[in-house]
Amino acid sequence: MNTSNDHLIKNLINDPYFHKWVIDPDQSCEKFWANWGDKNAERKECMEQARAILLSFEFKSSSVSNEETNALWAQISDQIERPTSINQKKLSPNSKNWWYGVAAAVVLFGMAFFAYNNEWNSASEIAEPEISLIEKVAPEGKISSFQFEDGTRVRLFSGSIIRYPATFGKGSREVYLDGEGFFEVQKDVNRPFIVETNTLKTTALGTSFNVRTYGDSNCNVSLVTGKVKVEMLRKTRGRKANTLFLNPGEEATMKFDAVLKQSFDIEETTSWKDGYIYLENKSFDETIGILQRWFKVDFVVMNRAEIGNKLQEKRGIGTFKNQTLENILKVIGHSFEFNYQIQEDKVILIF
């Protein structure tokens, strides 16, 4: 195994959030590690090997005693002297030092497993293992703003999710985004700031940029100041993953199987961070998509087939702030010539 894979496996074994994935993953945990492992083949292989190491130790008790801890250490020592066939085949460490480097983490994993089993029977007695990645979700209809420990600021769009470590590492500052966020990065030449989505990886030293991702096949990185590097995280449809460098006013757009560079309107793209809903010159479908994300409602379009292409020729108007959905519908209803009915989380548009 090469040194970088060695290091990655040790990091995984020491990561309590990875322990949770091995022991008792919830939907969010499953999605995070599935996305993380799908980025490239080496990551996935390292995940499998780290999981094999953790599961090669048998944890049968429902509580942790000194005798059990000592027995677990003895089991680890035996593995150090006599690696399992799995480890011999896949890991082939050069010395005992590698195993000593992960032994403590394996003990902690065993304790976490015991704690989980005990919690299953008596949830009030033992707390769950601490999760190393913090997750923040912007409330529906609101913009969240907060600052990382390094001084970098982020504004998070309604319903968006970001995951990040409580303390960034020595080599990089890496966060994971699902949704839309605007980043103002504190400069640190020794630790590049990295934003990962399902499809793109954006690397910056000190700059400000917007990242928008909804689904696996569409992602935009829009640079306001500084310079960033944008990389595809995996090959798609047999095409080689490409890399772009952006200057201010340029945007990288991921569309299905390639990353393309184009210019963009800064006000249009980033006005959301200040609470503005920008609908000027938007098509009907773009307008509906924006309102769905802002207000978390579903739109039902009546008589769509009857108006055909005529609707696609029309454009929205206005930029709104601190306005209700009903007030916005009144304005754009004149542009697109529809009536509307609001029924809780559903909006019916009638042409």
Q: CA-CA distance, 111 to 103, in Å (whole number)?
A: 13
CA atoms within 13 A on the CB side of 105: 21
Indicate the DSSP class of residue 330.
H
| pLDDT digits 0-9 by tens, 305-344 | 777 677 878 898 889 998 999 999 999 998 898 899 999 8
Does the pLDDT of residue 242 top 60, yes or no?
yes
| pLDDT digits 0-9 by tens, 76-132 | 555 545 544 444 444 444 454 555 555 555 555 555 555 555 444 443 343 434 447
Domain ranges of the chain: 3-121, 133-268, 275-350
240-250 burial, b at 16+ Cβ within 10 Å, e below that, comes to ebeebebeeeb
The Cα angle at residue 246 between residues 240 and 251, in degrees rounded to 5? 85
Any idea how long the chain is? 351
pTM beyond 0.85, yes or no: no
What is 133-268's CATH number, 3.30.465.10, 3.40.50.300, 2.60.120.1440, 3.20.20.210? 2.60.120.1440
Q: CA-CA distance, 210 to 326, in Å (whole number)?
A: 28
* CATH class of the region 275-350: alpha beta
The pLDDT value given to residue 20: 77
Q: How far is CA 162 from CA 30, 119, 176, in A?
A: 15, 28, 6
For the chain, the distance separating the N- and C-terminal CA atoms, rounded to the nearest angstrom, is: 64
Across 36-43, average pLDDT = 75
Q: CA-CA distance, 33 to 47, in Å (whole number)?
A: 9
Across 241-254, average pLDDT = 89
Beta bridge partners of 82: none
Q: What phi and psi values does residue 40 have, to the nearest 5 degrees?
A: -160, 165
Confidence of residue 4 (pLDDT cuts 50, 70, 90): low
Does the pLDDT of residue 64 top 50, yes or no?
no
